[in-house]
Amino acid sequence: MEVDKLPHCARCDNKECRNGKDCFSLARKHAELYDDGEIGRLHGAAAVIEAKHYGRKTRLAETIEFARHLGCERIGLAFCIGLSEEARVIEAILAKHFDVVSVCCKVCGIDKKEFDLPYVRKVDRESVCNPAGQAELLNATGSELNLLCGLCVGHDAIFSMVSRAPVITLVAKDRVLGHNPVAAVYSQYIRRQFGI
């Protein structure tokens, strides 16, 4: 892509794309991306949920509606051990509608020493987070949609790469801001730490 055509939409004040402007002359090519059966199916379901529930349902409730619309029967839940209680509640809610399978980030208890990874605490043994393993376990169950509940930055990327089912981030981890990462953008005091 030419340097003068690199996308910098966050810097745009007008967002004329909302009214049909094609700044990159790629509308036709991008529209073809949704001709793919699975992408088109997910895109259509997302549009239905957005139109029907915009501003009226929580992300959890919209996720349930999305999965229902897709006809999912088995939902996978990959969670951080630090959000075990939240995962227990989420699984109980989802279980009213679906067969739910869940897997903790420390699954299989692999020692960080095996990969020469730094420990978070001063202990004799610390298990790695195992996002690839979480995804593999959920793949083996035949989950049709996988939900992320607080996986670490980077571990969420690994999980998404390995998961065969589509992935939705239900909870984005932010230990400092109570799992509300956008608060860093809303707070002028935190923005200053980033030089903004």
Q: Where are the domains of the chain?
A: 73-193
Cα→Cα distances 161→16, 18, 33, 36, 106, Å:
33, 31, 19, 19, 18
pLDDT in tens, 50-101: 999 999 999 999 999 999 999 999 999 999 999 999 999 999 999 999 999 9
Q: Rounded to an integer, what distance in angstroms lies between the CA atom of residue 188 and that of residue 196?
A: 8
Q: Please answer whether residues 149 and 87 qualify as being in contact, where contact means their C-beta atoms are separated by less than 8 angstroms.
A: yes
DSSP state of 111: B
Q: Rounded to an integer, what distance in angstroms lies between the CA atom of residue 124 and that of residue 135?
A: 27
Helix (H, G, I), strand (E, B) or coil at 71: coil
- Please state the pTM of the whole predicted model: 0.92
Given this structure, which CATH class describes domain 73-193?
alpha beta
Give the per-residue pLDDT at 2.
Answer: 60
pLDDT in tens, 89-132: 999 999 999 999 999 999 999 999 999 998 898 888 999 999 99
Give the per-residue pLDDT at 154.
Answer: 97
| Counts for the chain of helices (H) and strands (E), in that order | 8, 4
